[in-house]
Structure 1
Amino acid sequence: MPDIFAKILIRRAREEDLTGLVFLLEVLFSIEKDFTFNTDKQKRGLRLLLQKSGATVLVAERQGRIIGMCTAQLLVSTAEGGTSALVEDVVVLPAWQTQGIGKKLMEAIAEWSTLQGATRIQLLADCNNTRALGFYNQIGYNPTDLICLRKGQNMKRGGTW
């Protein structure tokens, strides 16, 4: 494993990485019931993250090939009285899982978050993805009593927003 790690680069994503990033999101969305993969939407969302101050997209790269990714955005938390980081889109290609790459990505996200002044990192995970939940628990993330609720534009009821 140390030999493999020497060849893994964790870096900030670039525009030219979009094809590889979109492929990783397709892998991720194939196991998440709440999302439907759409190349154009995912590419648009990734571009927005790449351009947004207060956000980052990190990739794990080996020999020029993207094998994993993780995204984070800064939010203001009234509970923290400051900034927190919201982590999403953590995915490593199946052939590279269980080799510590996800952990390295999450360590890099934690470092970025700290440098941005975030005092807490929170993340969303599919409640049925037991492998991911076990991974997050193993690296020190704890479940909360909160649940995620959402309302999309196509679900508007009364009034406008």
Structure 2
Amino acid sequence: MSIETVNRALRDDDIGQVVALWHAAGVSRPWNDPARDIAFARRDPHSTVLVADRDGLIVATAMVGEDGHRGWVYYVAVDPRLRNLGLGRGIMDAAERWLIDRGVWKMQLLVREENDAVRHFYEHLGYRDTRTICFQKVIGDAAE
């Protein structure tokens, strides 16, 4: 008997599980406050955090948003004990649907160059390296 996975928007009572999953999956970084990132993503209708819920347990996540031109996905995480079961593909499908429902036709994501396993995962899903360089400048309160 298989357990059904439901992809849905994050609820307030999911936040603790999501933060724990991000740490366990290795997608959080010491300089990013996960709770702050979640609150920021949920502040308006242009972004959200999607979760895969299996009987009340959060087993995968994707933070997804759009800037009016392109969609972006961050914090894609799967419970390390449940990898290779299609949860990553499922949460990415949910993120793509979220963007398509808003009329967005391009989806982008960032992968650390040395993370070969994750690069291959996204390539398998049809994502391609655009051979562009991402520049970043930390500004405002986040610079502290």
- CA deviations on 1:82-133 (whole Å, 9 max, x unpaired) are x210111101011111110000111111111011110100111111111111
| Corresponding position: 1:137 with 2:134 | no
Let me know the Cα RMSD of the aligned residues: 1.9
The 8 Å contact of residues 31 and 129 in structure 1, kept in 2 or not, is answered as: no
The two structures have a TM-score, normalised by structure 1, of 0.79
Mapped to 2, the partners of 1:148 and 1:89 lie a distance apart of 17
Partner of 1:87: 73
1:57 aligns with 2:49: yes
Q: Which residue of 2 aligns with 1:115?
A: 101
Paired residues, number: 140
Query: Could you tell me which residue of structure 2 aligns to residue 7 of structure 1?
Result: 4
Q: 1:68 aligns with which of 48, 60, 65?
A: 60
Quote the offset at 1:27 in angstroms: 3.0
Runs of 5+ consecutive residues of structure 2 not aligned to the other structure: none
Q: Which ranges of 4 or more aligned residues in structure 1 deviate by more than 2 Å?
A: none
Greater CA radius of gyration, 1 or 2?
1
CA contact (8 A) 2:72 2:109 kept: yes
Percent identity at matched positions? 26
2:13 alignment partner, one of 8, 11, 16: 16
